[in-house]
């Protein structure tokens, strides 16, 4: 679950209990900081409910004083000095500006979170004097339901990505959203703009159909194929003339060493993180 989704879930639960939760949002940083602008955490009933604004060092202050700081119902800007002699004495050497705001069911921030989480559409939100862009979590489409997909799903879920698994076999070994699609139905892949597709069904013809379907769409920003280069040549042997392979990464994953499903999953997710963060494998 993404941070935005977790915050929205806990906020809705707080509304149901008749509470007014407090949302803390990092709006600016100077120097070293564990998290950057856009990081959020939710407090309700004097408890840390979801999200984070640091590595755990600033959260306790928000929990302790959040309700008091917004008692008049207006957003409050608080600056944390994380230098050795600063107010929290962490030795990190930076400053973090955090806006605390009370949330209500009809507040603009809640409406923006609903748009991002439920509609998977970008939204703009004004936090105090700061305007920020909210975007949906990264979408990952995994082709294949074998046992080695499960650790990829687990790692991707831990990063808050929106994960979908596609296979022709009806019994997936994963708790991700599952789509049962035959090789002739792969034009119905759950794609969206900028998503990543990783093909790892271990079935030559299904991999071929999936790779061609993914590359034939303009939506994915990344298409990865598991397997050695010789197998990749077989998968691509019958591709249409003129089909661009610019988005294809094969063999998929960073060369981190190790073997087995867990190591392969780590290599795949590490490369995907580079992609979603706007970096390239060649930069490593």
| DSSP assigned state of 91 | -
CB contact at 8 A, 26 and 10: no
Q: Write down the domain spans for the chain.
A: 3-134, 139-283
Indicate yes or no: pTM above 0.75: yes
Please tell me the predicted confidence (pLDDT) of residue 282.
57
Mean pLDDT of all residues in the chain? 90
pLDDT at 12 over 80: yes
CA distances from 118 to 2, 74, 161, 267 (A): 12, 27, 14, 30
The CATH number of 139-283 is which of 3.40.50.720, 3.30.450.20, 1.20.1250.20, 3.20.20.80? 3.40.50.720
Other CB atoms within 10 Å distance of the CB of residue 26: 26
pLDDT at 284 over 80: no
3-state SS, residue 65: helix
Work out the pLDDT band at 18, boundaries 50, 70, 90: very high
pLDDT digit string, tens, across residues 32-78 = 888 888 999 999 988 899 999 988 788 888 898 888 888 888 889 99
pLDDT at 89 over 90: no
> What is the average per-residue pLDDT within 174-191?
92
């Amino acid at each position: 679950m993404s941070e935005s989704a977790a915050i929205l879930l806990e906020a809705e639960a707080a509304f149901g209990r008749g509470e007014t939760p407090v949302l803390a949002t990092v709006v600016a940083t100077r120097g070293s900081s564990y998290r950057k602008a856009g990081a959020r955490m939710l407090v309700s009933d004097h408890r840390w409910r979801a999200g984070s604004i640091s590595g755990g060092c600033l959260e306790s202050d928000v929990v302790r004083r959040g309700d008091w700081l917004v008692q008049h119902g207006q957003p409050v800007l608080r600056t944390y000095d994380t230098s050795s002699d600063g107010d929290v004495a962490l030795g990190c050497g930076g400053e973090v500006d955090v806006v605390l705001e009370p949330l209500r069911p009809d507040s603009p921030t809640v409406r923006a979170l609903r748009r991002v989480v439920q509609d998977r559409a970008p939204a703009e939100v004004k936090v105090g004097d700061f305007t920020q862009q909210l975007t949906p979590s990264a979408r990952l489409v995994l082709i294949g339901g074998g046992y080695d997909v499960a650790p990829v799903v687990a790692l991707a879920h831990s990063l808050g990505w929106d994960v979908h698994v596609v296979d022709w076999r009806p019994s997936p070994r994963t708790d991700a959203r599952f789509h049962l699609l035959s090789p002739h139905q792969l034009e119905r892949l759950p794609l969206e703009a900028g998503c990543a597709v990783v093909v790892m069904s271990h079935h030559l013809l299904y991999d071929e159909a999936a790779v061609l379907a993914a590359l034939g769409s303009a939506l994915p920003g990344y298409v990865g194929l598991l397997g050695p280069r010789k197998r990749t040549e077989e998968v691509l042997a019958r591709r249409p003339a003129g089909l661009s392979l610019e988005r294809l990464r094969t063999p998929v994953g960073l060369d981190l060493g190790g073997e087995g499903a867990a190591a392969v999953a780590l290599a795949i997710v590490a490369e995907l993180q580079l992609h979603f963060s706007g970096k390239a494998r060649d930069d490593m």
